[in-house]
Amino acid sequence: MDNNNLEQITFGGGCFWCVESCFNMLKGVQSAISGYSGGHKDNPTYEEVCTGETGHAEVVQITYDPAVISYEQLMNVFFFLHDPTQLNRQGNDIGTQYRSVIYYKDDAEKAKAEQAIETSKQSGRWQGTYVTELTKFDKFWPAEQYHQGYYNENPTQPYCSAVVGPKIQKFKKHFGELGMLNEE
């Protein structure tokens, strides 16, 4: 990977444990870090974000090499991993912290995000009205260390085995067949 040409993208698609785990498996992704964006409190804690009162979303900040994986491919994965038609929730995870959101850095990235939403709508994968927010990126606060790589460290934890694990298996099958995953 060419560290001089790395780019970043930040988005939220529900609980960050699954999203982070999947993105870290992709070729061209240097890192996917769980954290918080979009709120009004500096350096929030997980407990504060879970109240829904800080305005933050659980997000993943991805550092990637666009020569290996494109923005469009990352967006395809993003829309594969969560339902963009569920307002402020993903499955049983309910609250504004689980909203579908893409944080863009400039007008060009906003245009690419708008196109990715349209492409996903046209795919027919999700039925209903898309509620994915497009929000100007401000700050990213890394989540506490125990959230980083949470699924890999806790695969038998009840939420992980019931919700995250099956989603990761579906992801691995689909994107593995496309040759997009790192060798295990």
Instruction: Report the b/e string of 92-131 with b at 16+ CB within 10 A.
Output: eeeebbbbbbbbbeeeebbebbeebbeebbeeeeeeeeee
Across the chain, which distance is largest between two alpha carbons, in Å? 42
Q: Is 15 a catalytic residue?
A: yes
Q: Which residues pair with 103 in a beta bridge?
A: 10, 135
Separation of alpha carbons 34 and 36, rounded Å: 7
The catalytic residues are 15
